Every structure is written in structure tokens, then in C-alpha cells.
Amino acid sequence: MHIVRIKGTTAAEIAGSVRDQVASGELAPQAGLPPVRALAAELGVNRNTVALAYRRLVEAGVAETRGRGGTVVAAVPQLAREGVGAGGDCVDLASGNPDPSLLPDILAAARSGSYSRPLYGAPALDAGLDAWARADFAEDVDHAFRTLVTHGAVDATERLLNAHLTRGDLVAVEDPCFLASIGTLRLSGYRSAPVRVDGAGMRPDALRAALEAGARAVVCTPRAHNPTGAGLTEERAADLRAILTEHPQVLVIEDDHFSAVSARPYHRVTPPSSARWALVRSVSKFLGPDLRLALVAADADTTARLEARLSAGTTWVSHLLQHTARELLMDPRVHELHERAREFYARRSALLVGRLRAHGIDVPYQPDGLNVWVELDVDGRATVAALARRGWAVRPGHLFAPDPAAHQGAIRITSSTVTEPQAEEFAAELAEVVAELRSTASTADAASTADAATGPPPSRPGH
């Protein structure tokens, strides 16, 4: 009954044959591989041999298991990204972007100061930027660390995970979670262990459960959590640290992406006993995402692994970008701008939360950062679609769920550029949309209850 011509008598040969067929296009993405039993019979091999071949293909990311649906050829994952904003004339409360008017002039900074055109062989780090980073990290890290620069936080997280983990490893991530982390996990073949977040960040019981389930890495946002805006309190950070102390080999990545413009202090999650850790500070939110630059403090072994990956890949982060970041970070006017940005972002999210509450939408705590997360008792996708028809773009909560079945009733609203009239108008319209969806749902419920009460139509005699 065979559809594909898979050959081989060993697991390696069978897996190789499948890979050849995927490469030639004979097996298309999502095509089902033959059932293990059938292929084993056809090739005259033990079932375990085929099962092993399929397992290797899954581990290599060539195939994926669908439970009872068998094993299928993996497709290139479709990943949700930040920055997807308003289509048409919608007001953009979806993009997750910083307010461009609160970012400094990058071009002017690139032209200022001295830039020496480094050639191959030059040190990877700009000395001035490195000195700034060391002083910044020294305020928050009280044990030995080394510094380096990456192409942003997402790049740092991916390289850090790849430096220490292998496909199939379990990674504890916040639930809900930053979109790019979900994408990184999927692309690299890691499994996610979702750790529920409340107003004070990762919940200790959930982190403990993830670690006990075998998580080999934890990615934690200490403040301005995206999408919820949660920030660790001192007590919560201490609780998480205590739990992580029991797992010194687990890689701890702290993604402090909102550092300079956060309304909250940084509370450290990494215990001094952690053997593998990194504190990542992207400049995207306060110097601009186009610098593609993040500063990283990490233990010596992790830094060496990260450096090795950088030099084998993009070699170094352009000194032109490092120079520009250094000029900006050392400029007192940029620090004044950051103070303004911190106030503006806090004021705008408070404004939006205030208007939402005034219209009866429950926002459980005051968020920090660029977004407000709302959990509704109606469908998030339907809410997003109804808001789009009224001219508002926001994002549905399920996109931020490590387990895509979760957060079906949530939406994320970007508050970074919201004005007072927009906040009022949006909150009023969201309340209307929710009321409409509730009444549609209760009408549908009433209809199905009536159907259940009357039962199926009686079958006619003789049929």
C-alpha cells in the first residue's frame, strides 16, 4: 500500500532515505510517514528499527509526531513576530514597539566621537562600550562575570540555549511568554515548560514544577514582562532564587529588556551558586531596535561558548553599532530622554489601565513596560476581530502561549503611544465588544440547551 519509496535496513539508512525524499520534495511538509508497523513489514526489519529512525528524524527536526496522527514531515514553523501592527486605518495598539519619539538620534551618534574602522583581528568588543557595560552590570551582579555584545536579546537567548542545550531539552519559560522566545524554542526543537506568571512574575510553585520535570534552562524576564507587564518583587525574586539554588546546573537567562526605561528596580533571580547564567540587556527599547544590540554579563564558561558561536557565525557585532551605542549611552541628554521615556510609558499604561477599569474591564495589576494584558471571559480572537472592525488593532493572547491552547480569552494591548482620547475611546469600545460577544455566547448557549432538552428529532418508523 506504499506511497513513498523509503529504503534501508538500519535506522540510519531508513532515516537517511526519508531525508533524501524530503530534500527532493517527494515527501512534502506535513506529509505523513508510513505507520511504523507497515514500513517495518515492507522493509523486512524489526519495528524498533523503524521507530528509532523516526525518533532520530524528530530529534533532528525533520519530522514531528502528531500523537495518534503518527509522524509527519516537519514544515518550516510559521512564527508570530513583534511589530505586526495595524492593517488599513486601524489605530495601532498591537505592535509592541517603543514610541519612536522617545528614541535618541542614532545617526547623529554614529557620526560623533572617534571610529577607527577595525579590521579582522580587532578585539570583538568596543572598549568604551565594554567599560560602560561592566559598570552597569556591577551594580546588579555581585559575583564574577564577563561581558560581551550580541545582536540583540533574541540572538543572545538563542545562542545561549544552543550553547548549553540539545534538541528535545525542556526549557522553562514564562506563561504567557515573549513571542520570540516561543519561536526560538520551536525552531531549535526545545520543549517548553510553561511557568505561569502573576503580577509579581514567575510563580514559584510553577517554576519548581518545571524544574522537577527536568527543565535544563529557565528564561525569565525580571521586569516589564512581555506581554503582561509583570515585574518581580524583591520577595518573589528571593523565592525564585531559593528554588534555583537547588538546581545549580540549570542555565538561567534573565532577559532584562526594559532596563533603562523600566519603572521598577531590577531584582536578581540568578543565585550565586548557578554554574551557567546570563543577564541580557538589550538596548532595543531605549536606543532603538535597529541597533540590534544587547549587552550580556555571564559566567566565564558561558561567555566563552557564546563568543565561540559569535565568531563562527556573524564574527562580531559591527563596531559601528557598538560605537553608536557607546556614544548614546555616555550622553547625558540620552539619560534625560530615558527618564522622560520611563515617565511617559508608566503614565500611558496607567492611563489605559484606568480607562479600562472605568469601563468595567478587569486589569488585575499595574503593568510596567509597553503592553497591557487583559483576560476576558469571551474569545480573544473574536474580540480582536471585532475591535479591528471598529478600527483598533490589538493582538490575541493565544499567540503568547507556549501551549497554543492556552490564553484563548486574553488580548495584549500596546500602550506605548496611546493618547488620552484613544485610551477612553478604546476602553469604551472594548467594553461594548465584550458585552456583544457575551450576549452572542449566551444566545448560543440557550439554543444548545433548548436542543439538548428537546433531544434529537425522533426517527420515523420504517427508517
Ligand X SMILES: Cc1ncc(COP(=O)(O)O)c(C=O)c1O
Which spans of this chain sit near ligand X (rule: CB under 6 A)? 82, 96, 152-154, 178, 221, 226, 255, 257, 282, 284, 289, 294
In contact, 220 and 185? CB cutoff 8 Å? no
Closest-by-Cβ residue to ligand X is: 152
In whole angstroms, the minimum distance from the beta carbon of 154 to ligand X comes to 4
C-beta of 281 vs 305, nearer to ligand X = 281
The gap from C-alpha 92 to its chain's centroid, in whole angstroms, comes to: 20
C-beta of 42 vs 290, nearer to ligand X = 290
Q: Which amino acid is at 166?
A: T
In whole angstroms, the minimum distance from the beta carbon of 292 to ligand X comes to 7
C-beta of 22 vs 294, nearer to ligand X = 294
In whole angstroms, the minimum distance from the beta carbon of 182 to ligand X comes to 11
Query: Which of 379, 389, 392 lies closest to 444, judged by CA?
Result: 379
Residue 341: which H helix or E strand, with range?
helix 332-358
In whole angstroms, the minimum distance from the beta carbon of 217 to ligand X comes to 15
Helix (H, G, I), strand (E, B) or coil at 24: helix
C-beta of 159 vs 257, nearer to ligand X = 257
In whole angstroms, the minimum distance from the beta carbon of 177 to ligand X comes to 9
In contact, 176 and 182? CB cutoff 8 Å? no
Query: Which of 406, 417, 413, 349 lies closest to 177, judged by CA?
Result: 406
Q: How many CA atoms lie within 13 A of 19 on its CB side?
A: 15
Grid coordinates given for 45: 526489519
Grid coordinates given for 22: 524530503
C-beta of 33 vs 193, nearer to ligand X = 193
Q: What single string gives the DSSP state of each residue in 209-256?
A: HHHHTT--EEEE--SS-TTT-----HHHHHHHHHHHHT-TTSEEEEE-
In whole angstroms, the minimum distance from the beta carbon of 225 to ligand X comes to 7
Query: Which of 315, 321, 265 lies closest to 295, judged by CA?
Result: 321
Output DSSP code: residue 32: B
Query: Which of 207, 204, 203 lies closest to 218, judged by CA?
Result: 207
C-beta of 39 vs 283, nearer to ligand X = 283
C-beta of 91 vs 220, nearer to ligand X = 220
C-beta of 21 vs 150, nearer to ligand X = 150
Phi, psi of 130 (to 5 degrees): -65, -40
In whole angstroms, the minimum distance from the beta carbon of 181 to ligand X comes to 7
In whole angstroms, the minimum distance from the beta carbon of 383 to ligand X comes to 22
